[in-house]
């Protein structure tokens, strides 16, 4: 693969290490509301986008893969998340 110098690559910001509580507050700022709780998993729903995001509420920070999957399900970019925190 050849790299083009015409479009320089920007470094992608790293995923932050955050707690489930901080992520839940960010989701609520965007318009998600908690619709149910099943065990330690909170289900958030956005009526405008009709997206569902499931946040596991454990005592530790969210792992990178879990955070990435939640952001993908909620259709939120990393830049949006950083602005909300």
Give 7-26 pLDDT, tens digit per residue.
666 666 677 889 999 999 99
Please state the domain count of the chain: 1
Residues belonging to the chain? 85
CATH assignment at residue 35: 3.30.920.30
* 22-61 pLDDT per residue, tens: 999 999 999 999 999 999 999 999 999 899 999 999 878 8
Which residue segment(s) compose the domain that 43 sits in? 20-84
Residue 4: inside a domain? no
**Residue 57, domain member (yes or no):** yes
The answer for residues whose C-beta is within 8 angstroms of residue 68's C-beta and 6 or more apart is 15
| Residue 15 in domain | no
Task: Give pTM, 2 decimals.
Answer: 0.77
Say if 37 falls within a structural domain: yes
Backbone angles phi, psi at 64, to 5 degrees: -60, -45
The DSSP code sequence of 9-70 is PPPPPPPP---HHHHHHHHHHHT-EEEEEETTEEEEEETTTTEEEEEE--SSPPPHHHHHHH
């Amino acid at each position: 693969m050849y790299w083009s110098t015409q479009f320089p690559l920007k470094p992608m910001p790293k995923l932050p290490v955050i707690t489930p509580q901080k992520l839940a507050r960010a989701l609520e700022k965007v318009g998600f509301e908690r619709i149910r709780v099943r065990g330690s998993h909170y289900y958030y729903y956005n009526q405008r986008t009709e997206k569902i995001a499931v946040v596991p509420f454990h005592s530790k920070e969210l792992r990178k893969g879990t955070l990435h999957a939640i952001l993908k399900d909620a259709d939120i970019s990393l830049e949006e998340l950083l602005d909300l925190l």
